[in-house]
Amino acid sequence: MNAHRYRSIFRPGLFDGAVVVVTGGGSGIGRCTAHELAHLGARVVLVGRKADKLDAVRAEIEADGGRAFTYALDIRDEDAVRAAVAAIVEDAGPIDGLFNNAGGQYPAPAESITAKGFDAVVRTNLTGGFLMAREVYVQSMRAHGGSIVNMLADMHGGMPGMAHSGAARAGMENLTKTLAFEWAQSGVRVNAVAPGWIASSGLDRYEGPVRAMIPRLAGAVPLQRLGTEAEVSAAVCFLLSEAASFITGAVVRIDGGASLGNRLWPLPRHDRSRPFQGFHRYEPPRVLGEGDD
């Protein structure tokens, strides 16, 4: 593989001329997907709260020969979202795609989550995504069509330890289906991806018992490993592309089978699953190296 180019499975030029917004584009899965989209010809719009992170990713993309714009804002702020989308349309042109990737949560048992904490996570993982989708639709896609991909999580069997995030992600799944139905008349498709445990920078944010558990997560996955950022990005790019033109309201699980089965059926150990790693600038989370002893 060329160490200086993204190794995408998609044809070169797939997104030539397209404007694609990636929220949470300053790190992790958002950063990876932004790189792949730019490699495939898209003009990528990076959205996030921290301008320095967005600028760093934009510099990477430009160094690799791509084009990117940055807009620092809090997606939970309705006025800020409305103004940012207007600026994006003015600066970059009609929006063809939106990857509603931004989100965040913290581990806690449900009994200890305060109303403020619950609301903060729901606003980040659900309300903010709704505001971005609504404004992109109203200000651009309603007239021109387009594709939206929302970020979920492996919450299909409940989300113990993260009740706030599980509730928000489940809400986003329902919102995805509703928007897919309502906005089809405008030529807009709305789908979602639901990653399981992904070896991304977000893993390094956890502390305490959760951090200690992370190096052992692969053992609870039928494919016996964690996913890569590139494997999530590939699914997102497919759903944004014309190849998915008849797919809307769908949820693609990217979890190595972790959401399947039950505790009564044994999970054999094996090493038969090989990860796809197309991201030339991938940086493995430090926490995955802490379980070697």
pLDDT in tens, 114-149: 999 999 999 999 999 999 999 999 999 999 999 999
Q: What is the pTM of this model?
A: 0.92
For 267: left if phi > 0, alpha if psi spans -120 to 50, otherwise beta; the answer is: beta
Q: Looking at 49-63, 152-166, 178-192, which range is the least confident one? A: 152-166
What is the 3-state composition of the chain as percent helix, strand, coil, each rounded to the nearest 5? 45, 15, 40
Averaged pLDDT, 197-218? 86
pLDDT of residue 291: 56
Q: Give percent above pLDDT 70 in the chain.
A: 98
Averaged pLDDT, 251-264? 91
Averaged pLDDT, 90-98? 97
How confident is residue 212, by pLDDT bands cut at 50, 70 and 90? confident
pLDDT of residue 114: 96
Domains by residue range for the chain, with CATH: 19-274+281-289 (3.40.50.720)
| Secondary structure letter of residue 105 according to DSSP | -
- What contacts 81, CB < 8 A, 6 or more positions away? 73, 75, 128, 131, 132, 135
Enter the tokens of residue 23: 């929220």
pLDDT of residue 202: 80
Would strands 19-23 and 97-100 be described as parallel, antiparallel, or unpaired?
A: parallel
Tell me the C-alpha to C-alpha distance, in Å, between residue 245 and each of 101, 112, 238, 255.
21, 44, 10, 24
User: Rounded to whole angstroms, how far apart are CA atoms 88 and 21?
Assistant: 9
- What contacts 50, CB < 8 A, 6 or more positions away? 26, 72
Averaged pLDDT, 164-176? 96
CA-wise closest residue to 165 among 118, 208, 204? 118
H/E stretch holding 71 reads strand 67-72
Averaged pLDDT, 155-174? 94
User: Rounded to whole angstroms, how far apart are CA atoms 75 and 69?
Assistant: 16
- Helix, strand or coil for residue 148? strand
What residues form DSSP beta bridges with 148? 98, 190
| 108 phi, psi to nearest 5 deg | -170, 145
Query: What average pLDDT does the structure give for the chain?
Result: 94
Please say if the pLDDT value at position 166 is more than 90. Answer: yes
Enter the tokens of residue 140: 């651009």
| 194 phi, psi to nearest 5 deg | -125, 85
How confident is residue 288, by pLDDT bands cut at 50, 70 and 90? confident
pLDDT in tens, 9-68: 999 999 999 999 999 999 999 999 999 999 999 999 999 999 999 999 999 999 999 999
pLDDT in tens, 221-249: 999 999 999 999 999 999 999 999 999 99
Enter the tokens of residue 143: 């007239």
pLDDT of residue 2: 44
User: Rounded to whole angstroms, how far apart are CA atoms 89 and 60?
Assistant: 23
Q: Tokens 């495939």 appear where?
A: 40
pLDDT of residue 1: 39
